[in-house]
Amino acid sequence: MGFGVAGLAGAGTGGYALAESFGSNITRYQMTPPGWPQDLPVRLLVLSDLHACDPWMTAERIAGMVEQVNTLQPDCVLLLGDYVAGHSIGRFSKPVPHREWANALAGLKAPMGVHAVLGNHDWWEDWDVVRRRRGPTKAGIALQEAGITVHENTCVRLNKNGRHFWLAGLGDQWAFPSHRDGRRHFEGTDDLPGTLAQVSDDAPIIMMVHEPDIFASMPARVSLTLAGHTHGGQVRLFGYAPVVPSRFGQRYLYGHIVEDNRHMIVSGGLGCSAVPVRLGAPPEIVQIDLGTAQL
């Protein structure tokens, strides 16, 4: 994504947009999506799109968010990718070493664990990985060394009070960029059919993805899809985002999206891409309380 800082500042909004880039609101959802038992209360805390970099998203700032999350007593913490800034805001910042941001995330506490998927920038930061079209990625290694489970088209069956559900994590859909016919194309490591084939019973499924576009193909068997990537537009003017990194434009921009009784929540994320500016799309930690209200 690319935005003009000078243009924003010239409109008298630059200072506000920069200030809005810091902090972290808690956005709360209460729901019982289709297929989810009303007597299975599960609290999920979701962090997405950190884009760790100095000075905008330091390890110290991430550690502060970790403290926020832990005070909310989640059953499970889900990390939806783009832990690194990569080349996205290069001239405005410098990288945070992988060990530092990953060690900050290692402080997350949840009885059902901390689970992660990778995002496009976690692949793009290392062009040797992109060229050979396979991992491991530096971000993935850092997360695993910090004790965080990284899902790449895998599922795990989780239990609370004798009730079960499946947590699935999809590979990234934009891992391998290329140019053909004068246009940019993306190929991914994602395997939705292969991921769902690992589900061995009728317990409900939560699907973690980075890019929300896969939701157009998500079967109703999945109770809830969780996505990041869009930053909620990062810059939204009167609710409209001029730039959305999605082939569906505004359709999967942000928030609770329902199509054909299928449900997805798209997080606005925490960091920035292209420039360290947010306007009308403040950083957020997402809290989802499942089994607490009927949709």
Per-residue pLDDT, 17 = 57
- Cα distance between residue 277 and residue 3, in whole Å: 8
Q: Kindly give the pairing relationship between strand 76-79 and strand 114-116.
A: parallel
Locus of tokens 């990953």 = 102
The pLDDT, as a whole number, for residue 294 is: 52
pLDDT at position 274 is: 80
The label of the residue with tokens 């289709």 reads 34
Report the distance separating Cα 210 and Cα 230, nearest Å: 9
Whole-number pLDDT of residue 16: 47
What homologous superfamily does CATH list for 26-290?
Metallo-dependent phosphatases (3.60.21.10)
Q: Reduced to 3 states, what is the DSSP secondary structure of residue 179?
A: strand
Question: What whole-number distance in Å separates Cα of residue 181 and Cα of residue 204?
Answer: 42
Split the chain (295 residues) into runs of 10 and give each run's mean pLDDT: 38 51 87 94 98 95 98 98 79 90 98 98 94 95 98 97 96 92 89 98 98 98 98 93 94 98 98 90 97 68
* Cα distances (angstroms) measured from residue 40 to each of 33, 204, 285: 11, 10, 22
pLDDT value, residue 21: 67
* Dihedral of alpha carbons 143, 284, 123, 116, sign: positive
Residue 5: the pLDDT is: 36
Q: What is the predicted pLDDT for the residue at 90?
A: 59
Which sign, positive or negative, has the C-alpha torsion 154, 83, 288, 159?
positive
Q: 48-85 pLDDT, tens per residue? A: 999 999 999 999 999 999 999 999 999 999 999 999 99
CA distance 207 to 226: 6
First to last CA, the chain: 34
**What's the pTM?**
0.92
pLDDT 10s digits, 119-164 = 999 999 999 999 999 999 999 999 999 999 999 999 999 999 999 9
Could you give the CA distance from residue 190 to residue 195 in angstroms, rounded to a whole number?
9
Query: What is the structure's pLDDT at 288?
Result: 98
